[in-house]
Amino acid sequence: MSDPLDSAYKEFIAECEEHIEELYRNIDELESAVSGGKRIDPDVLNAMFRAAHSLKGVSGMFGFETLSKLSHDLENILDELRLGKRQATQTFIGHLYDAVDALRKILAAGKEDALSDEVRREAVNIIDQLMKTREEESPKGIEESGYDVPERIVSVMTEYEEHRLRENMRMGMNLYLLKAVFDLEDFDERLNLLNERIKQDGGEVISTLPSADEVEPGKIKFELLVGTESALEEVKKKLSDFKIEIEELKKKAEVPPAPAPPVEEKPPPPPTETPVHTTQFLRVEIYRLDEIMNVVGELFLARTAVGRLLERWKREGKDTEDILELERIERSMERNLNDLRERIMEIRMIPVKSLFDRVTRAVKKIAREMKKDIVIEYSGEETKLDKFIIEELMDPLMHIIRNSIDHGLESPEERMLAGKPETGRISLLAYQKGNHVVIEVEDDGRGIDVEKIRAKAVEKGLIGRGEVISEEELLNLIFMPGFSTKDEVSMISGRGVGLDVVADKIKGLRGIVEVKTKKGEMTRFVLTLPMTLAIIQALLIKIGEREFGIPITAVHETIEYESSILRAVEGREVVLLRDETIPILNLEQMFSFSTDGYEPRFLIITGMGDRKVGIPVTDLIGRSDVVIKSLGGVFKNLKGIAGAADLGEDRIVLILDVTSLLEEVVRV
């Protein structure tokens, strides 16, 4: 495929994904309205219809027939829903989720000829099922009373707008025709504001029409058809800061009052309230930000080089005015570069809410399918994390949760006997901890049986019979490949894919996963992740003649190294620090190089989550901003190394991967 086609194709997929997300978002809204017994916002139903409509349109244009056909079916169903010809029952919503899942699966195939018959058939069945899920129409009861809505407005209404008009009539709402003149420049903001105001009042803008009436240049007139419970006087009061003409539309039977002479169109007053900004978005692929970040990394190097040059000149006594001036420029450059870096980072950061929503959706689906009684809740959803990391977290989180549903949460009978509420609970929590983001997944199930793990570990030969091993270490064994305590194959978590996959994935994101449990009460998985992978500050150290970098976020503290602070526990070297026993890891042993007789002078205490390790080093060089580049080929999976960073002047350092170093210590 040639390049322009390829990029148009990517755009196509991206747009389809947006529509699918929009569908999910609105089904979520609908679900919570229906399950909470609240009024369904017509905008939600309309947005859902529009998303299916757009999906149909765009997939049709791109020749993705199956996707187009099925989203067309979905569109028709959603059209009936928004037109009040279908009822949104729980069963219907369940099938609706399935239908969107099916569409997403089809989209994943990428194009028509890559689509398997199986996926297609399945999707057709699901949509068929949805089509058949049809409750009796709700009785309309009240007769639609005729209002005197001007023909010129009715004639350009879409079917949906007509439906909304009828609904408003049926509910006995008062109908008003609003006429307003706005500046061309900000009429959209003003209209949005007006719309919001009417909605707050429980009303609805049924139709918005630009009017062709002659107005001053630079201005535009609109007519709005509004339905609301409020009486004319109230509406006038609520909208008093808008320069508008309000006309009440009377029922046909009533004699309309003589129309008031049209008010002279005066220019609207300057807005007194804070204008609502219609935000404009630009979608960019995330790798573009990476590219920019790389350039910023290069700029940092250039700045460092300038700094070094200045240092040298000063050392050599060339302390002229020019050099001082240059120093000022250099400092301002550094400030701006830091600012730039921060801003790019901010762009990459998004709240974890989107992830939590997706997980919640998936859990509800599993619960429905398995007819299990599970509630899922989350908090801390505003916590921000790198978008790339968020995308990568869906699978591991779902894996953990499937595990909880499968092994953790007991049957209702079992829970009753244990004196717990029948409904099992899964809670997600996110928060920031220093430079890391922590995500916790907790279930209130039976907990992990540590003794069972011990037995299994002995059976698998991972530990010796009677070997003394802490509970924490035992629990960590569940992340080992091939480790599973439940023998039967499960429908949800399956066999063979264990929690080691989760641990690997999190490690790949330079994070760590830990587990805590209380028998009979709960199991909690704690994921600690860096906020971003893009650019980091590294502490540069020397071991012998060799330089390494350690991500500064993973450095707890640096202490002086003396052999007197070392102890040995079961043959392992440790350091006692404020009642904590921290294992020591010698990098020269791990990577088998020689320190050429240099003695360690400092001990770096580094770690993640609750785990720490001490690394003896010869020298501390300083800190530096680095962009980590992964090592290619055979070195790619080198234990203990996250990648390399260019420091300029032909200096390349290896950046240590703290997560895998911690693992080394456990395994020693």
Partner 1 sequence: MERKKKVLVVEDSRITRDLIVATIEEGTGAQVVQAENGFRALKLIPAEGPFDLMVFDINMPDINGLELVRFVRESEHLRDVPVIIVSTEGKKSDIQRGFQAGADDYIVKPFSTEQLLNVVKKYLGNR
Catalytic residues: 53, 75, 403
- Spell out a b/e string for 366-380, using b for 16 or more CB atoms within 10 Å of the CB, else e: bbbeeebebebebeb
Q: Give φ, ψ of 237 to 5 degrees.
A: -65, -45
The packing angle between helices 499-508 and 387-403, to 10°, is 170
Least separation in angstroms between residue 64's CB and partner 1 is: 10
Q: Which of 34, 40, 220, 565 forms a contact with partner 1 (CB under 8 A)?
A: 220
- Name every residue whose Cβ is closer than 8 Å to that of residue 374 and which is 6 or more positions away in sequence: 363, 366, 367, 405, 409, 423, 424, 425, 426
* Single-letter code of the amino acid located at 225: L
Q: What tokens appear for 310 in the block?
A: 């200045």
- Give the phi and the psi of residue 351 in degrees, each rounded to 5: -65, 150
CB of 194 to partner 1, least distance (A): 12
Closer CB to partner 1, 177 or 534, in the complex: 177
> Residue 208 Cβ, how far from partner 1 at the closest point, in Å?
5
Residue 50 interacts with partner 1 (CB under 8 A): yes or no:
yes
Question: Rounded distance, CA 358 to CA 394, Å?
Answer: 8
In this complex, which beta carbon is closest to partner 1, that of residue 285 or of residue 599? 285
Of the pair 73, 161, the CB lying nearest partner 1 is at 161
The CB-of-187 to partner 1 minimum distance in angstroms stands at 7
Dihedral sign for Cα atoms in the order 187, 188, 193, 196: positive
Q: Identify the residue among 31, 98, 101, 161 touching partner 1 (CB under 8 A).
A: 161
User: Binder to partner 1 among 42, 57, 412, 520 (CB under 8 A)?
Assistant: 57
Mask of contacts with partner 1, 162-201, x by CB under 8 A? Answer: ----------------------xx-xx--x----------
φ and ψ at 44, to 5 degrees?
-65, -45
Q: Sort residue 273 into left (φ over 0), alpha (ψ -120 to 50) or beta.
A: beta
Q: How far is the CB of 273 from partner 1 (least distance, A)?
A: 20
Residue span binding partner 1 (CB under 8 A) among the ranges 58-66, 451-459, 536-544, 626-634: 58-66
Chain residues 136-155 in contact with partner 1, contact rule CB under 8 A: 152, 155
If the CB atoms of residues 182 and 356 are measured against partner 1, the closer one turns out to be 182
Q: What is the H or E stretch that residue 526 is in?
A: strand 522-530
**Considering the rule CB under 8 A, would residue 86 count as an interface residue with partner 1?**
no
AA identity, residue 289: L
SS (H, E, C) 615-631: EEECEEEEEEEECCECC
**Cβ neighbours of residue 464 under 8 Å, at least 6 residues apart?**
458
Q: Which is nearer to partner 1, 11 or 451 (CB)?
A: 11
Among 20, 27, 58, 430, binds partner 1 (CB under 8 A): 58
Q: Per CB under 8 A, does 12 bind partner 1?
A: yes
Q: Which CB atom, from 218 or from 317, has the smaller least distance to partner 1?
A: 218
Q: How many residues does the chain have?
A: 668
Taking the complex as a whole, the smallest distance from the CB of residue 343 to partner 1 amounts, in Å, to 26
Residue closest to 440 by CA, chosen among 470, 405, 406, 401? 401
User: Does 382 sit near partner 1 (CB under 8 A)?
Assistant: no
Among 20, 23, 56, 618, binds partner 1 (CB under 8 A): 56
Q: Which two structure tokens, joined as six digits, stand for 238?
A: 């609520």
- Interface pick for partner 1 out of 27, 44, 66, 68 (rule CB under 8 A): 68
User: By CB under 8 A, is residue 211 in contact with partner 1?
Assistant: yes
- Tell me which stretch binds partner 1 (CB under 8 A): 207-215, 246-254, 523-531, 589-597: 207-215
Torsion of CA 351, 352, 355, 358, to 10 degrees: -80
Q: Which stretch binds partner 1 (CB under 8 A): 46-54, 286-294, 419-427, 523-531?
A: 46-54
Please tell me the distance from the alpha carbon of residue 474 to that of residue 468, in angstroms, as a whole number: 10
DSSP string of 83-110?
TTSS---HHHHHHHHHHHHHHHHHHHT-
How many residues interact with partner 1 (rule CB under 8 A)? 36
Contacts with partner 1 by CB under 8 A lie at: 8, 11-12, 15, 50, 53-54, 56-58, 60-63, 68, 152, 155-158, 161, 184-185, 187-188, 191, 207-212, 214, 217-218, 220
